[in-house]
Amino acid sequence: MAKRIGLGLGRGLDALMGTGNEEEIAAIVNDVPVAVSKEPKSSGTSANRSPNIPDGIEIDEDGNLWLNPDRLVPNPNQPRTEFDAAALEELSDSIKEHGIIQPIIVEKAESGADFYIIAGERRTRAAKLAGLKKVPIRLSKFDNIKKLEVALIENIQRADLNPIDEANAYYNLMQMGDLTQEEVAQRVGKKRPTIANALRLMKLPEDIQKSLVDGQITSGHARALLMCENMADQRVLFGKIVGSGLSVRLAEDMARDFNNGGRAAAKKPEKKIAPKDPDLSSVEQKFIEIMGTKVSIKGTLAKGSICIDYYSKEDLDRLYSIIVGDKN
C-alpha cells in the first residue's frame, strides 16, 4: 500500500501539473517510493499501442509506460548543476532494493530518438547506477517556461539546491517569461524578499560564488559580503571569513565597521606615523580599486614597496591574472 505523505506544497508541482495527487507530488519532490515496481509486467504490442506513444516506449498490462534510461537526457532548463555523489549512491541502493519510484516526467525531444527529463534527473542517474534497463515514465508536454518552473520547483522544494543554482533559476525564469520578482514568487510559492535576496547573490564575484557553492561560506556570509559598499572591503572580509572562520554575526559587524570607517586599506594604524604623501595615497587607492583587495605602499614616489593581500588560492590566481594577464 502506498504510504500517505503530508507535505505542504503551496503553489508547487501539484498546481503546475494539475494532478491533485499529494502522494504523487510528494514522491516527485522527495524521491519517496509510492507504488513499487521493479519491472514492467509485460510489454505492449503494436496492436494496443496508442498512435500518440513514441517508438521505444513499452506499455505494460496496467497501461504504465517504461523506457530505457539511456534514452533520457537532462532538461535543458535544469537549474541544478551539482549532484551529490553520496546521495545518488544511497538512492541507487534504495532502487536496487525496492525498484524505481514515482514515474519520471519526460517529454519527447524535438529531434532524434531521445526524451527530455522534465522532473526526475536524480532518479534517472540513480537508476543508471543501479543498472536498471527500464524505468517508469510519464509523458508530458510543456513550453520552455513551464519546463523551468517544474524543474525549479522540484529542486527547491527538496531544499538542497545550492544558492547560486537557485538564484540563476529565478533569473532565467524572469528572463524567459518576462516576469517580475513578485510574479516569480507567486509561481514558485515563495515570498518576494526571498527571490530578491537570492538574486542579489549573483552580484558577488565568481570566485566568491564558487565558495558559496562549495560550502566554504554560507548564504549568511554571502549576505554580509554584499553589505560592503567597497569592493576592496568585500575582498578583505571574504578572506577573513575563509581564513579565520568568522561567524555570520561577526562578518556583518565587520561589514558595518568597514562602511562606517571607510575602506579597509584606509583604516588608521594603531601607531601614529607621519602623514602619507597625498600623491602616494592616490596611487595606493587606484591599486585597491584595480586589484579589488587591500593594497599598501610603503616609501615614497621615488622608492618603496607594495604589499598586496590575498586570502585564498583562488584569490591569488585572480590577482595573478590581473597583474600578468593571459600569456598563453
Beta bridge partners of 58: 66
Q: Alpha-carbon dihedral of residues 185, 191, 194, 200, nearest 10 degrees? A: 50
Q: What does each C-alpha distance from 302 to 86, 219, 274, 297 come to in angstroms?
A: 58, 45, 17, 12
d(CA 37, CA 39): 6
Residue 18 gets which letter from DSSP? T
d(CA 216, CA 253): 19
Residue 121 is a catalytic residue: yes
Separation of CA 171 from chain center: 12
Strand pairing class (135-139; 65-67): antiparallel
Hey, is 91 helix, strand or coil? Answer: helix
d(CA 275, CA 218): 40
Cβ pair 306, 297 in contact under 8 A: yes
d(CA 300, CA 66): 76
Cβ pair 119, 13 in contact under 8 A: yes
The active-site residue out of 121, 154, 166, 314 is: 121
Q: Which of 233, 230, 212, 235 is nearest to 222 (CA)?
A: 212
Residues annotated as catalytic are 121
